[in-house]
Amino acid sequence: MKKIRTTLTVAGTALAMAVPLIATTSAPAFAASRDGACDSGEFCLYYNSDQAGSISDFTGSISDYGATQPSCYEFKSAGNGQGVCVKNNAASVWNRTEKTVRVYFNSGYGGASQDFAPGAKGNLNSTLKNNEASHQFLGSSGGGGNEGATNDFDHGTRGFAADNCTAFAAYRVASRLGVPNFSNSWGGTTWGNANTWDDAARRVGVTVDTTPTVGAIAVNDTHGDYGHVAYVNAVYSDGSFDVEEYNWNNRLAYGTRSHLRVSSAENSFQHMLHF
């Protein structure tokens, strides 16, 4: 976390000394977090064709919807299919984001796919109807699966200090990386401060390396006493990458940085976690 003079709480702490654990800021009104309503800024899957039945709404990419309760993403609104796991059960979509969204047959953004342009409504094709496992927001630049930067944080703590980098990274793991129940105790270990996330990842079998990919959690374990974590949302052909983060340039708030590189520098990152 970036130290901002001496009065600020360091962002990577697992316990907030001067920051209450109850969030005081709500998510942007244009995209409520998974409430079963298809709001502006969200990509929505429907249980039935022609945008009918129960809705499951998303604000980012999901690499695996999950197949069983209680850990799967489910259809949330009233109607046919409410409470059913989304995986292999969706029939139609509405893309209310500003990005093209690609729906995949397999988890991990693999297999047959179908693209939905910004604003598009449509039925899944015969290959993907009731056979979909992941979706990806495609970036407007940088190529491949780069994701546009957006502050969709729900301000939940998940066992970390409120509005710190760890809480934001935990939200992205839960909302975009196929681990909806991720928390400070996920996998039976304590994830703790940002500078211990790479150690926790190794303990539970999450891949740790130095290769940035979209959706990786970048770990800095050299900054101060607590380190820093961020979400990689874009990777470029020269090996540099962009991150989204909390409590680095902006105190207890969202920010982005562009064209970083893996290095030992205190303002960079040394590890990449691949959930």
Tens of pLDDT, residue by residue over 184-238, are 999 999 999 999 999 999 999 999 999 999 999 999 999 989 999 999 999 998 9
What pLDDT does 146 receive?
A: 83
What pLDDT does 139 receive?
A: 56
The residues of the chain that CATH labels 2.60.20.10 are: 43-137
| pLDDT over 50 at 96, yes or no | yes
Q: Which amino acid is at 256?
A: T
Give the separation between CA 149 and CA 241, rounded to whole angstroms.
12
**Burial class of residue 183 in the structure, from the number of CB atoms within 10 Å of its CB (0-12 exposed, 13-18 middle, 19+ buried):** middle
Write down the pTM of the prediction: 0.55
Give the separation between CA 144 and CA 127, rounded to whole angstroms.
23
pLDDT digits (tens, 9 = 90+) for 143-196: 446 888 889 899 999 999 999 999 999 999 988 887 889 999 999 999 999 999
Q: Quick check: 59 and 150 in contact, CB under 8 A?
A: yes
What pLDDT does 150 receive?
A: 85
Which DSSP symbol is given to 51? T
CA distances from 92 to 78, 192, 268 (A): 16, 40, 41
Mean pLDDT of 8-23: 38
The residues of the chain that CATH labels 3.90.1720.10 are: 165-274
Which DSSP symbol is given to 244? E
Q: Quick check: 244 and 231 in contact, CB under 8 A?
A: yes
Q: Quick check: 54 and 81 in contact, CB under 8 A?
A: yes
Left (φ > 0), alpha (ψ -120 to 50) or beta: where does 14 sit?
A: alpha
- Structure token pair of residue 47: 């249980």
Give the separation between CA 159 and CA 180, rounded to whole angstroms.
14
Q: Where are the alpha helices (DSSP H) in 57-208?
A: 165-176, 197-204
The architecture in CATH of the region 165-274 reads: Alpha-Beta Complex (3.90)
Spatial neighbors of 29 by CB under 8 A, at least 6 apart, are: none
What pLDDT does 33 receive?
A: 63
pLDDT digits (tens, 9 = 90+) for 114-143: 888 889 999 999 989 999 999 988 753 334
Give the separation between CA 195 and CA 192, rounded to whole angstroms.
8
Q: Which helix (H) or strand (E) holds 116?
A: strand 110-116
Give the separation between CA 256 and CA 263, rounded to whole angstroms.
18
Mean pLDDT of 64-74: 89
Q: Quick check: 196 and 185 in contact, CB under 8 A?
A: no
What pLDDT does 26 receive?
A: 35
Q: Quick check: 135 and 44 in contact, CB under 8 A?
A: no
Give the separation between CA 146 and CA 235, rounded to whole angstroms.
7
Percent of the chain with pLDDT strictly greater than 70: 85
Does the domain at 43-137 match CATH 2.60.20.10? Answer given as: yes
What mean pLDDT value characterizes the chain? 85
| pLDDT over 50 at 10, yes or no | no
| pLDDT over 90 at 98, yes or no | no
| pLDDT over 80 at 17, yes or no | no
